[in-house]
Amino acid sequence: MKLLRFGPAGRERPGLVDGSGRVRDISRVTPDLSGEILDSELLARLYHQDPAAFPIVDNPGRIGPCVGGIGKIVAVGLNYADHAAESGMAAPTEPILFMKSTSSLIGPNDPVPMPTGSSKLDWEIELGVVIGRRARNVGEADALDHVSGYCIVNDVSERAWQLDRLGQWVKGKSADGFCPIGPWLVTKDEIPDPQNLAMTLDVDGRRRQSGNTRTMVFGVAFLVSYISRFMTLEPGDLIATGTPPGVGMGQKPPVYLAPGNIMRLEIAGLGSQSQQVVS
């Protein structure tokens, strides 16, 4: 299934995308697409319902973040060896973890505000993993049983704040608008192999990133298992699994975003998103 949330910010309604690409309103069976719904029998029942049973939304308007009420965003740094190389860093021997604030979440096509004082605003296309069942000290073999589905994440970053201002990376990763997700939460039955997904990011029509999840240093199952050793992953939590090469910081010379630039991201099977940078 392809699940989404549509409507004004803070008042999104839950929906699904039918086989013809039309949005169907499922708010009569659930008020939202949040962790408590992803960890319930309701999601299983939706698999077996005919989408035609739900009303068509002729004009869904704005598409919001595909999951509501996210408790935490755990991100993985330098998880593609070629991205580590362009950053001048060695590929990690175990996952590098950092957090993004949940206040950074926006819809897949919402504008990205350039924060006051920003000078090195950058893009990062990433595979997002949404937890569907509580995970605590789970083994790698069982890890995907705790995954609800996948989505596109743009891990927008302010490099000067991330790398030049000392302390943890979270400072450069958490401003408002720094985490567009969606358009859809695609349930894992539609993505049988999360380690073979092509991904691209363009800026103003120019291809900047082109990669595939098969080149991850640490795969999805390993990451879910690994992270669950350090913190309990709750239903609705989001893991951003790292980015392939081609970020602005890695260009020669570096290229950073400015107001007016438009980013377009696409991952096979997960749809596409587009954001304009605004002052």
Mean pLDDT to the nearest integer, 144-165: 96
CB neighbours of residue 83 within 10 Å: 25
Phi-psi sector, 270: left (phi>0), alpha (psi -120 to 50), beta: alpha
User: What confidence score (pLDDT) does residue 83 get?
Assistant: 81
Q: Is the pLDDT of residue 190 over 90?
A: yes
Which pLDDT value is given to residue 226? 98
C-alpha neighbours within 13 Å on the C-beta side of residue 10: 1
**pLDDT over threshold 90, residue 43:** no
- Give residue 78's pLDDT: 92
Write down the H helix ranges in 69-197. 81-86, 159
Q: Give residue 48's pLDDT.
A: 85
Closest CA to 133 of 125, 144, 117: 144
Q: What predicted TM-score, i.e. pTM, was given to this entire model?
A: 0.96
On the CB side of 224, how many CA atoms lie within 13 Å of its CA?
28
Residue 265: per-residue pLDDT: 98
What mean pLDDT do residues 112-116 have?
97
Q: What is the pLDDT of residue 15?
A: 98
CB burial class (10 A; 0-12, 13-18, 19+) of residue 208? buried
Q: What is the pLDDT of residue 82?
A: 81
Considering the chain, what percentage of its residues have pLDDT values greater than 70? 100
**Cα 225 from Cα 228, distance rounded (Å):** 5
What is the structure's pLDDT at 8? 98
Q: What is the largest CA-CA distance in the chain?
A: 54
Q: Would the pLDDT of 89 be above 80?
A: no
Rounded mean pLDDT of 257-273?
98
pLDDT band at 44 (very low <50, low <70, confident <90, very high): confident
Q: In the prediction, which pLDDT does 227 show?
A: 98
Q: Note the pLDDT tens digit of each residue in 192-249.
A: 999 999 999 999 999 999 999 999 999 999 999 999 999 999 999 999 999 999 999 9
pLDDT for 233: 98
- Please say if the pLDDT value at position 42 is more than 90: no
Confidence of residue 85 (pLDDT cuts 50, 70, 90): confident
Average pLDDT over residues 127-132: 98
% pLDDT > 90, the chain: 90
C-alpha distances out from residue 265 to 51, 199, 205, 207, Å = 27, 8, 11, 10
Computed over every residue of the chain, the mean pLDDT equals 96
- Give residue 18's pLDDT band: very low, low, confident or very high (50, 70, 90): very high
Domains of the chain: 2-53 (no CATH), 73-278 (3.90.850.10)
- What separation in angstroms does the CA of 186 have from each of 42, 102, 152, 191? 16, 20, 10, 8
Q: Which of 181, 189, 184 is nearest to 16 (CA)?
A: 184
pLDDT at 258 over 80: yes
Residue 45 has pLDDT above 90, yes or no: no
168: Cβ–Cβ under 8 A, 6 or more apart, which residues?
98
Give per-residue pLDDT as tens, 143-154.
999 999 999 999
